[in-house]
Chains A and B, each alone.
Chain A
Amino acid sequence: MGGIKIYGMPTSTNTIRALAALNEKGLDYELVIVDLRTGAHKHPNFLALNPFGQIPVLEDGDVVLFESRAINRYIATKYAEAGPDLLLSGGTPAERAAVEIWLEVESQQFGPPIASLVFEALIKPILVKATADEAIVEAQAAKLEKVLDVYEARLAQNKYLAGEHFTLVDLNHIPYTNYLLKTSKAALVTSRPHLLAWWKDVSARPAWVKTAAGIPF
């Protein structure tokens, strides 16, 4: 039984999401490079791990998982005793319900527009060397504005997104927010004081500093 392996690539936001969780938990792992530019994700060996041909994939002993958010839930649950209590297993039902709601909000409200915007404004130009479609950037930024207005109001009342404690909710937001701040749309975050304060706090966490050091841009 080997250690934990993550199949992915260091620039992939979803891969970074899983690495961030592993680092919060202080776990050792091996990053096995599956470079999308080479088509490695369509190779039968990889499809055997994730039939959807997407990164990341986690291997932990006999457990093989895909979908970065499911991977992170598994890490947070299996290694609940290590590092912060990312799913508030020791919390009240109300506190855990807040975690559930805001995990979904990240996945369904925040994720789609920011993923599209970051792909267009950062990934496409840098990794694929193609020109960003500004119409898409503007359209996705407009959608993200509305979501971030809600976040700003939420963070005016709560230190972290699920309440008083740093949880998997905050962590799941970090990789895409990190990339957003490298684009022409950084003001979406920097113009919102509570959101910016939240970002400064969560991005200063030692585990994130370590994760960010591994990101090539």
Chain B
Amino acid sequence: MVVQVYGKPQAVCPQRVMHCLVELGLPFELVHVDIDAMEHKLPEFLEKQPFGQVPYITDGDFELFAGDQWIDPPHRSARVYCRLHAESRAIVRYLAGKYGGRGGGAPELLGRTVEERAKVEQWMDVEAINYNPWAFPVVFNLLVLPLRGAPGDREAAAAAVEEMKRVLEVYEKQLSKSKYLAGDEFTLADLTHIPATRYVVEFCGAARIFEGKERVKAWWEDITGRPAWKKVISFVESGKSSYSP
């Protein structure tokens, strides 16, 4: 049986998880959770971010998760809950730890030594704490709210773009020392950046965050050129529910 991913395929959180699964050569089923359909029932959804989040306080996700059994494939399915944005990073850590580097070309996405892992964790935290808080208001105000017919705060988005440019100056320096953020191999530290950044540069007209940053640009071309990521985009655009490597 295969891993099941619950989420909306266009959302950032499920895309992180799907990318990780494809990198690891794992099949999965996508169980569509239509957040937009729920929104008119729960006005506070409009306050929340679009990254696959469902208010955990009202939909009982934590109770569901606590009651779920994580059991080892291939004997039974491993349920992967992707509805809480914060947990997409936990989910990919779990998947990469369990299935990474086991041969058959599955990459080692968490580093090979304690020290390498520490660097991966450091840059995953940078994404979560220094980068994503700026990427989110760009996408929320310039893409998500307009799609829902609500006015986005263009000033907040513009200010957030400026912050992204500032943070990426640090990335530019780091990428002069190593090919990827945590070292010379692609890891989760790079992967977790991709879905939100794609929306920022391709859907929100903010490709200027890369201006003057040749190494960041090269890194971006490289990580989005990975076959696994391209498969995720094809899969999302296909509207299918089932992915096989």
Interface residues of A (CB under 8 A from B): 51-52, 62-63, 65-67, 69-71, 73-74, 77-78, 92-94, 96-97, 100-101, 103-105, 107-109, 146, 149-150, 153-154, 157-158
Q: Knowing A63-B115, A101-B90 touch, does A107 contact B129 (C-beta < 8 A)?
A: yes
Q: At the interface with chain A, which of B117-125, B143-151, B153-161, B220-228?
A: B117-125
Q: Whole-angstrom distance between the alpha carbons of A153 and B136 in the complex?
A: 29
Closest to A74 in B: B118
Closest to A109 in B: B86
Q: Shortest CB–CB separation between residue A28 and chain B, in angstroms?
A: 19
The total of chain B residues at the interface (CB under 8 A) is: 36
B70 CB contacts on chain A under 8 angstroms: 92-94, 97
Name 14 A/B residue pairs within 8 A (Cβ), A-sorted. A67-B126, A70-B122, A70-B124, A71-B122, A73-B121, A74-B118, A78-B114, A94-B71, A100-B93, A103-B90, A104-B89, A105-B86, A107-B86, A150-B56
* Consensus secondary structure, chain A interface: helix
Which residues of chain B from 36 to 78 have any CB-CB distance to chain A below 8 Å in the complex?
56-57, 62-63, 65-66, 69-72
Q: Shortest CB–CB separation between residue A105 and chain B, in angstroms?
A: 6
Whether B173 pairs with A51 at a CB distance below 8 angstroms is yes
Q: Whole-angstrom distance between the alpha carbons of A63 and B170 in the complex?
A: 19
Q: Whole-angstrom distance between the alpha carbons of A94 and B66 in the complex?
A: 10
A71 CB contacts on chain B under 8 angstroms: 118, 122
B87 within 8 A of A: yes
Please provide the 10 A-B residue pairs with the shortest distance between their CB atoms, ordered closest to farther.
A108-B86, A67-B125, A94-B70, A100-B90, A74-B118, A70-B121, A70-B122, A104-B90, A51-B170, A104-B86
